[in-house]
């Protein structure tokens, strides 16, 4: 199944549900950054969450950045996701591997650590972006972002994130966000029913591995609560906006002396994009060209 995002509502718009399947984009991130198993799970969960958080924004160019910093051996990670369905990201120490935790699962909480912060920035494309910081709850990412949504955005939310990765790569990945909007929050019976339904859910990847599609999962959880699934399926993908031209632009900012130094000492310049791992190389001729451009500009 292609990577995709599907939206739904229930209870006359009082419940908002979004689901995402992200196998391929998680696998692409794993390969690009040579991620360990636990780093694949950490980044994959956060990329799915970024797409789910961005999905409720209105303006086409809206983006969500999630930065997590913890005291564990993996350090932290960064994800940039857009309402347009593109996402990119990286982890600070991609090679860190840990034994599985007591539940036999990849120890994302141990890799990130329990002490640290989640920074979320919502940028609608103009004016000051909205940013907020909360402390980590467990470092497992789902808990941490649920806490963020409840405290910073005051929206009671259930967030399920999962990545199943083995020796052949990412086998299943995705996420589910269910939010209770103000008009439904005052209905205690509905909230209790939803909570009991969600508490019976044993994670998200087991559902995908059992062959369930997003509409089937929505149907099971919300089918008797006036579920309405939006007909549009949005495709989502790993995408980074970096380019050789941008790298040249950044090199040019270093100035003539620095560029001369690169020509003499390194026979060129090499830059790696943090977000996607793409390596860009500028040769001596290209650096000379930049110096010429600097001279003619002055
Ligand atoms: Zn890039």
- pLDDT tens digits for the chain (298 residues)? 799 999 999 999 999 999 999 999 999 999 999 999 999 999 999 999 999 999 999 999 999 999 999 999 999 999 999 999 999 999 999 999 999 998 889 999 999 999 999 999 999 988 889 999 999 999 999 999 999 999 998 888 999 999 999 999 999 999 999 999 988 878 888 888 888 888 888 788 999 999 999 999 999 999 999 999 999 999 999 999 999 999 999 999 999 999 999 999 999 999 999 999 999 999 999 999 999 999 887 6
**Strands 157-166 and 169-180, sheet pairing:** antiparallel
Count CB-CB contacts under 10 A for residue 234: 17
Residue 241 Cα to ligand 1 middle (Å): 6
Surrounding residues of ion ligand 1, Cβ less than 5 A:
240, 242, 273, 275-276, 278
Backbone angles phi, psi at 237, to 5 degrees: -155, 160
CB within 8 Å of 197: residues ≥ 6 apart? 221, 222
8 A C-beta contact, residue 111 and residue 42: yes
Compute the distance from residue 210 Cα to the ligand 1 centre, in Å: 34
Distances (CA, A) of 150 to 66, 75, 181, 186: 16, 25, 12, 16
**Distance of CA 272 from the midpoint of ligand 1 (Å):** 8
Q: Give 57's DSSP letter.
A: -
The span from the CA of 70 to the CA of 73, in Å, is 8
Euclidean distance between the first and the last CA atom of the chain, given in angstroms as a whole number: 55
CA 226 – ligand 1 centroid, Å: 42
Distances (CA, A) of 75 to 108, 126, 190: 11, 31, 40
| Residue 298 confidence (pLDDT) | 66
Measured in angstroms, how far is the CA atom of residue 139 from the centroid of ligand 1? 26
* Stretch (H or E) spanning 88: strand 86-91
CA of residue 273 to ligand 1 center, whole Å = 5
CA of 253 to the centre of ligand 1 (A): 19
Give residue 242 CA to ligand 1 midpoint distance, Å.
4
Whole-number Å distance between alpha carbons of 298 and 81: 39
Measured CA to CA, the distance from residue 298 to residue 291 in angstroms comes to 11
* CA–CA distance, 8 with 128 (Å, rounded to integer): 30
pTM: 0.93
């Amino acid at each position: 199944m292609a990577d995709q995002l599907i939206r739904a509502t229930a209870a006359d718009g009082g419940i908002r549900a979004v689901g995402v399947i992200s196998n391929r984009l998680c696998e692409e991130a794993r390969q690009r950054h040579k991620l360990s198993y636990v780093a694949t799970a950490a980044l994959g969960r956060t990329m799915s969450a970024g797409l789910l958080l961005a999905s409720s924004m209105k303006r086409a160019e809206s983006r969500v950045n999630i930065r997590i910093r913890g005291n564990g051996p993996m350090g932290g990670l960064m994800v940039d996701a857009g309402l347009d369905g593109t996402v990119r990201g990286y982890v600070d120490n991609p090679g860190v591997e840990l034994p599985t935790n007591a539940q036999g699962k990849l120890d994302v909480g141990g890799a990130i650590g329990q002490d640290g912060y989640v920074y979320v920035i919502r940028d609608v494309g103009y004016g000051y972006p909205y940013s907020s910081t909360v402390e980590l709850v467990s470092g497992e990412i789902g808990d941490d972002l649920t806490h963020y949504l409840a405290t910073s955005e005051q929206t009671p939310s259930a967030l399920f994130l999962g990545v199943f990765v083995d020796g052949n790569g990412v086998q299943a990945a995705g996420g589910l966000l269910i939010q209770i909007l103000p008009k439904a929050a005052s209905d205690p019976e509905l909230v209790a029913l939803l909570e009991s339904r969600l508490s019976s859910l044993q994670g998200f990847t087991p559902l995908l591995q059992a062959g369930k599609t997003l509409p089937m999962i929505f149907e099971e959880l919300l089918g008797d609560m006036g579920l309405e699934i939006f007909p549009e399926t949005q495709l989502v993908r790993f995408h980074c906006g970096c380019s050789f031209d941008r790298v040249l632009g950044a090199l040019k900012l270093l100035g003539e002396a620095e560029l001369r130094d690169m020509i003499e000492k390194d026979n060129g310049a090499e830059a790696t994009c943090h977000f996607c791992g793409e390596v860009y190389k500028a040769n001596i001729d290209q650096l000379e060209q930049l110096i010429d451009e600097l001279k003619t500009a002055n």
